[in-house]
Structure 1
Amino acid sequence: MRTLVATMAMTVGLCAAPAAATPIIENNRIYCWGDPFGDANADGLVDATDLALLRLDLGWSESAFGEPIPEPATMGLLALGALSLLARQRRYEA
């Protein structure tokens, strides 16, 4: 039987890229001066590589309104309702 052993190293800091940022603690808030926000791989640059990493982690949507809206069905129901009102009105006029 084989056993797989994995090791992982992790650095914990106050800012995303501790080497490129100076943390400032003021009024119980931590500010990172010089920290490039959006730097997902902590290389000091915000570029397409960071976008690719964020897309993998957070998912990607083409737009906030990417879901189809049932407009044809809604318009069909409105037309059916209008026709029924017209038919009812003609029935009472006769």
Structure 2
Amino acid sequence: MDNVAKTIRTQGMHNVANTIRTQSKDNVANTVRTQGMDNVANTIRTQGTDNVENTIRTQGMDNVANTIRTQDMDNVANTIRTQDKNNVANTIMIQYKDSRHG
């Protein structure tokens, strides 16, 4: 939708798998916060277009695997913060439309 701000907060416990998919258009700001505990697998996929700023914050504890995939186009700023404890594997993949961000 046009100029919509979406905030998603999920808290998973006890072998829960959380999957969040957001697709934004037209100056939409998406904020996704996930907190996983007790062998929880969090997967976040965001696709932003047209001056969209995506912010992803994940905090994983106790053998949690976090996977973050972002695909950006047209002046998109991505901020990814991850904090891990106890055998956590983090995978971050970023694909840019051009070479502006290195």
TM range (shorter): under 0.3
**Structure with the bigger percentage of strand:** 2
RCO comparison, higher one (Cα < 8 Å, 6+): 2
Structure 1-normalised TM-score? 0.21
**Structure with the bigger percentage of helix:** 1
